[in-house]
Structure 1
Amino acid sequence: MSKKLATTDNTKKSTVKAAKVTKIAKASNSVAALPALVNTKSTELEIVDRVLNRGPVLPTTTSQDPLTQYVKEISRYKLLTIEEEEMLIKEMKDSGDIEVAKKLVLANLRLVVKIALEYRSAWQNVMDLIQEGNIGLMKAVSKYDSTKGAKLSYYASWWIRSYILKFILDNFRLVKIGTTNEQKKLFFNLLKEKERLIGMGINPDNKMISSTLGVSEKSVAVMDRRLGSGGSELSIEARLDDDGPSLGDSLTNQDEIPVDERLGDLQGVEILRDHLKSFLADLKERDREIFEKRLLSEVPASLQSIADQYGVSRERIRQIEERLINNLKVYMSEFIR
């Protein structure tokens, strides 16, 4: 039976807003359980708690900012020597024990923070990026195969970056639209709530979601249109050929090309600036103008105003916008390969 850990907050300052964290009942003892835990999409703290089956990583009340306190807490877990890591990896492969996988995850939490900080120019809240990076780290541990020749940290770096970049790309067009508390609440919770309800076999209509999240049906409908359908994962899972290994599986020895050198040009804002410029340069004039007015403007033009400008329907402009967003994701993914 899970236990609810009550949170306390004796100050009114803008300190860590630690949510009530539910300790998960003892998980499966198999490493195969990691992907299921990864896919729960909890907060970065809950993710680690869920994998570790322990209390919250952060204290419930603190005067420090979340990042500082998070780094302080994860620093308690020592880094592994090469020999220790190899021993744990062999043990995990032989036994499939999730307890061994937990040790590997803990030892690499600093790596997630390091990589997430590289993208802080592209996303204001670095804890969001750490959350996604932690998911990528656990995915990497669950899929790691030492016989492929890549060191775990090198292999994990690809997964961590993949999840962080996917998060940035998926939310790129929405960075500027969450201005009110209701919009922000929907932005961060709508898709998760939909996934939760679908997982329970419930059709998530706007009325049900508005009731669950405590917002208006109209706001749910508006944000649902803005979010659109979820994008596919980045190409780390893509097969290099029909019968061959995936990109992640094909990574070779880490000594051939240092991670920082190979991925250095993919850091943060450069992706959203330099590659975006190239993407825009290849668009037709009408598509470029629609993209700029709808997705790059501080105050996005309405679909109707653009439709009137080009003498087409509002729905047609929406379709063009959706196509451009999907094309951008594909275009950006090519640089992440």
Structure 2
Amino acid sequence: MDLNPQRIDQRLVKAATDARLLGKEEEFDLARRWRDDHDHAALQQLMGAYLRLVISMASKYRHYGLPANDLVQEGCLGLIQAADRFEPERDIRFSTYASWWIRSAIQDYVLRNWSIVRTGTTAAQKKLFFNLRRLRSLIGQSTGNDSAAPISAETRQRIATQLGVKQQEVDYMEARLTGGDQSVNAPVGEEGDNEWQDYIADDRAIPEDAVMTAHDTQIRLGWLKQAMETLTEREKLIIQERRLGEESVTLAVLGDQLGISKERVRQIEHQALGKLRKALLRLVGGDPHRVGLIPST
């Protein structure tokens, strides 16, 4: 048994080689039978005929260090997606249509498994991931430079222009492809017990502070809710729209809504803020430092 992970199972290769090629009308008929009648025999025949296409495309991605048979399996999933979405009425050969789905499925698998850190999260990063090495090699050959050496700023700019991405994205991908992954539990230096994770700063609040902040916020919100009950309905509306919403509504908009001038809205807001402050001070025993919710008038 061949245990080389970079070698495709020879039984798959033989099955793909032995499968009969389909003519245009025949593949259209099989696609219709699968789409309209969910004929699994038609789907199996369609997949068997194009298994060689999956193997061919999977072979192009073996240098990423992933098991070749897994690449073939992902390509087969893309082939099934193509069969589900294929429309014979568009008069496009199934192999042409399926190639896109097979390539996309394999590339997504490579991006998910090449590194424990997600690499291609945008279309630009995905394009860079699969083209950066090739373009580096081509530019190196044309300029006589070593394609394995760090690329210059001029070369990075040429790559960015050719792929239609920003140079900063080329810099990021170059660092990701050459840096590799490193465990945070790896020791720092050859001697000593310190690990890399010991030097990672945590900017979050310590648990005790986070709990106290959440507790104090709930209490202050309760005070504010009680204080709001001292306002009229119009005053509540103005305070909510002007001070307590995610975005402050303008005086003019509120004036049109209430049928008054924007200057009158400003006066009511000022008056309502004063009432709120007095109510809140009564609730907290006259200590203004305990309130911290309503902005100054």
Q: Identify the TM-score tier after normalising by the shorter chain.
A: 0.3 to 0.5
Question: How high is the TM-score relative to the length of structure 2?
Answer: 0.44
Q: Which has the larger radius of gyration?
A: 2
Counting helix residues as a fraction of each chain, which structure ranks higher?
A: 2
Question: How high is the TM-score relative to the length of structure 1?
Answer: 0.39
